Amino acid sequence: MPVNRSTATLINAPRGLAGVVVADTEIGDVRGLEGFYHYRQYSAVDLAQTRGFEDVWHLLVHGELPDAERSVEFAAETAGLRRLPDEVSAALPAIAAAGRGSGPLAGMRTALSLLGAAKGFRPVYDMDVEQRRVDSVVAAAAVPTLLTALHRLGRGVDPIEPRQDLSYAANYLYMLTGNEPDERRARAIEQYLISTIDHGFNASTFTARVIASTGADVAACLVGAVGALSGPLHGGAPSRALDTLDAIGTPDRIDPWIRERVLDGDRIMGFGHAVYRTQDPRSRMLREIAEGFGGPRVEFAVEVERQVEAILAELKPGRELHTNVEFYAGVVMELCGLPREMFTPTFAAARTVGWSANLLEQAQDSKIIRPVARYVGPGAPVEVPAWG
């Protein structure tokens, strides 16, 4: 229904809705001034350091951390949902071939829609809370299988069937590479995945909630979120941060390379964040993980961070610009054997769980999200010109 300006009060929101509260949530919060974020009542970094991915998944979609017995049950439940329906598996080669130049994330949009159809997902508006949860878990459990299969098919090799005896992270690496990962690398990827499950009302999360507010099915909500994530202003930075390290090349080139780009007004990939005004806690944790591996690549990344922060403090005084999650995420994923084209899809595999929690929460509110726009075009009404 159109808004009548004579009866409605229009509020001029800032560009990008920056700072505008659009909903209440119990899922988590990002406290940018403090450099802290949490999932429900727990520090997200503490969860990444002490719990497995499945436990945090349970926390977000069920609202509580599982006890030891329930932890085993939920891990087994989600592992049993990794295998794709035959109709979806049969279509993946065509999806991969059609999107050979765009990668697995683009193919995931099509594959998720097909998965929802094959599984008979119904609008969340027509289901109770528990059935919504079931559909969200079914979809999230299948995402790693979809992504790794599309990646392998795009490279001309057969997909690898998921294993139920491996954790979420270990199975993901196994399906991606064909080799069972060592415990250290599997745990490093698991910690990265946990740290990126959710992070406030970012563009993709908000997109999922807007679609959920219409009552659409789980797959539709997730497809919309993936579409938002595909934009270069939202996803894709981990590989670009590594590209920066490659472009600099050696320690003696750091200062001149960075100064030139800052003075030209270019953005330094992997630095700065829209919310944090201090160090990104995810970056701090991932740096510790990277330093645990050690090696020349890590030492170079740490030196780049040190010099870039010093140069930014000198050239942009008064602005707090530090490494964000993407900088060391790229280093960690590279150390664990992930190809760069799978960095953002890996992020999406984690964030699917966060999107699921958000769409489930939004589905409990029957009010559709329907803002208004301020018309700034030519004055109206204008008489429509006749033909001839």
Return all residues near 375 (Cβ < 8 A) that are at least 6 apart: none
Q: Please give the angle made by the CA atoms of 218, 219 and 221, to the nearest 5 degrees.
A: 65
- Structure letter (DSSP) for residue 214: T
* Catalytic residue chosen out of the listed positions 54, 190, 305, 326: 326
Distances (CA, A) of 230 to 134, 224, 282, 344: 26, 10, 21, 8
| Paired residues of 37 in beta bridges | 30
Instruction: Kindly state the tokens that stand for 171.
Output: 């199975």
Q: Please give the angle made by the CA atoms of 60, 46 and 234, to the nearest 5 degrees.
A: 60
Instruction: Kindly state the tokens that stand for 107.
Output: 């193919």
Region at 120 (left for phi over 0; alpha for psi -120 to 50; beta for the rest): left
* Catalytic residue chosen out of the listed positions 273, 305, 334, 361: 273
What strands lie across the sheet with 28-31, from one edge to the other?
Answer: 28-31, 36-39, 42-43
Residue 130 appears among annotated catalytic residues: no
Residue 326 appears among annotated catalytic residues: yes
User: Between β-strands 28-31 and 36-39, what pairing exists: parallel, antiparallel or unpaired?
Assistant: antiparallel
Which amino acid type is present at position 142?
A
Instruction: Kindly state the tokens that stand for 315.
Output: 């050239």
Point out the residues that are catalytic. Answer: 273, 326
